[in-house]
Structure 1
Amino acid sequence: MAGGYNKQQEHVRDYFDGDAFKRWEAISTGNGRNFAQRKLIEGRMAIHQCVLDWVGPVEGKRILDAGCGAGVLAERFVDRGASYIKGIDISEKMIDLAQKQGSGKVEYAVCDLMSEHGNYDILVSMDVLIHYSLADMPTLLEHVLARAKEKAYISFAPSTPLFRLLKAIGKRFSGGSRTTNAYLHRIADIRTILQGLGYQITRQQLFSNVIYNAVLLEIRPVNPKK
């Protein structure tokens, strides 16, 4: 995994810290003006609310937001009584934005997924898997999910005939500066990997508004740690 993952994470870092930062800053702050940005904001708001509804009470819990971006979701846990919230992201500019507009009650750090070794009760990781290939998934998911004792909430772009077509159309009209090596993953493939690692999908929901297409999974260990 090391070679492919390391090369890809550099590409992701360069993307979010480069020309695409202004675009994602607008999306993360809810200030997107064109149709695509508004649809991305709409989709992200919907999936974030679903995460909050599914997670439920978090009083006294430790939460990790892996791939937190500007901290939009991490900050929503602040008033819910979590004892500790940490947001990590590979992009220095996104973490700087999170710190500037945040409450000061979330710990933010520039960190890639495989370099985080803390222990938490709950993990959330929104739209991060899209940046990595299926070959990276077993090692990546094993490491990331091991951070959470109780449950995890992960979203990614599912591979379906329709979404593959939409991706091809979007790539053609958006230009290379607006995308990374975006990977769509079959839900069945992710489920198989999770089962092999000792996890089960307990809930899933699809979100689609043409521009934003993602599936949210609630993941729990088959044999929870005591």
Structure 2
Amino acid sequence: MPTTNDKAVVQDYFNTVGFDRWRRIYGDGDVNKVQKDIRIGHQQTVDTVISWLKADGDLSGQSFCDAGCGVGSLSIPLATMGIQVSASDISKKMVEEAQSRAQQTLGQDQNPNFSVQDLETLSGSFDTVICLDVLIHYPDQKVPEMINHLASLAKSRIILSFAPWTIGYMLLKKIGSFFPGPSKTTRAYLHRDFDICDILRSQGWTIERKAMTKTSFYFSRIIEAKRPDA
């Protein structure tokens, strides 16, 4: 059987039929019940991350990487906190939408700095690297490589969120697969909490905080890890 190029599928999806769907979900216009539930869940994940950062005090002037920024749901609030944000996404259309929203909120400010890139090609050095709801597009065998690469860009902290593997969520995913639709989603991969933590710990990171976002149709485990000497 031919292998699936997940990256190409994701890039094509978010530049075509998926873009309009997720732009609506991450916006404030009318959506259906399921989409509204996902919108609420994603915002709760963003709010959790923002609350963690604010609890750490003034972060203005620090450098952050928002890997897989989508339409800027996290990047824009980070910029309003005075954080220097480098935001990227595999989808050109998503980046253009993020730039438009940032301009509406922040004016002509060059922060955040948006670019079209996938996770593998990211480079640089940042105080904090954040990657929310992106690992769902990567199978288990690719996740260690992706996390280790992202972690190599972070000086002191990395924050990840992912769809957690549980029997219940796996059954829900199976049920959903019986109702395919062209604008529904890409292939979704669930990951075990302890696997993600083990990957981080194997590279010398310490798990600092965890949280779980759970709505009817949105599930996301959030993990923050820091370098011991940070």
Partner letter of residue 11 of structure 1?
V
Q: Name the residue aligned to 1:221.
A: 227
Following superposition, the deviation at residue 59 of structure 1 comes to 1.3
- 1:175-190 matches, within 5 Å, as 175-190=181-196
Identify the range of structure 1 (190-199 vs 35-44) with the bigger mean alpha-carbon deviation.
190-199
Identify the range of structure 1 (127-136 vs 23-32) with the bigger mean alpha-carbon deviation.
23-32
Following superposition, the deviation at residue 31 of structure 1 comes to 2.2
Q: Calculate percent identity across the aligned residue pairs.
A: 33
Unaligned runs of 5+ in 1: none
Partner letter of residue 99 of structure 1?
Q
CA deviation map 1:70-125 (0-9, x unaligned): 0111000122121x211100000100101112134211000011111111101111
Query: Hey, what's the Cα distance between the residues in 2 that align with 1:53 and 1:85?
Result: 17
Q: Name the residue aligned to 2:176.
A: 170
8 A Cα contact 1:166 1:210, kept in partner: no
Query: Hey, what's the Cα distance between the residues in 1 that align with 2:170 and 2:229?
Result: 35
8 A Cα contact 2:66 2:87, kept in partner: yes
Query: Hey, what's the Cα distance between the residues in 2 that align with 1:136 and 1:222?
Result: 26
8 A Cα contact 1:43 1:207, kept in partner: yes
Query: Hey, what's the Cα distance between the residues in 1 that align with 2:140 and 2:22?
Result: 25
Query: Hey, what's the Cα distance between the residues in 2 that align with 1:110 and 1:32?
Result: 28
Asked whether 1:111 is paired with 2:117, we answer yes
Partner letter of residue 179 of structure 1?
T
8 A Cα contact 2:17 2:182, kept in partner: no
- 1:43-58 matches, within 5 Å, as 43-56=41-54, 57-58=58-59
Partner letter of residue 206 of structure 2?
Q
8 A Cα contact 1:32 1:41, kept in partner: no
Partner letter of residue 63 of structure 1?
F
Between Structure 1 and Structure 2, the one with more helix by share is: 1
CA deviation map 1:174-201 (0-9, x unaligned): 5254121210001011112222222222
Q: Name the residue aligned to 1:90.
A: 90
Q: Name the residue aligned to 1:151.
A: 157
Q: Normalised by the size of structure 2, how large is the TM-score? A: 0.90
Return closer, same or farther for 1:32/1:14 CA change in 2, 3 Å cut-off.
Answer: farther
Q: Normalised by the size of structure 1, how large is the TM-score? A: 0.91
8 A Cα contact 2:13 2:186, kept in partner: yes
Query: Hey, what's the Cα distance between the residues in 2 that align with 1:210 and 1:65?
Result: 26
Query: Hey, what's the Cα distance between the residues in 2 that align with 1:18 and 1:159?
Result: 28
Query: Hey, what's the Cα distance between the residues in 2 that align with 1:68 and 1:206?
Result: 20
Return closer, same or farther for 1:141/1:54 CA change in 2, 3 Å cut-off.
Answer: same
Return closer, same or farther for 1:197/1:73 CA change in 2, 3 Å cut-off.
Answer: same
Q: Name the residue aligned to 2:79.
A: 78
Q: Give the count of matched residue pairs.
A: 219
8 A Cα contact 2:21 2:183, kept in partner: no
RMSD: 1.6
SS in 2 for 1:206: strand
Q: Name the residue aligned to 2:136.
A: 130
Unaligned runs of 5+ in 2: none
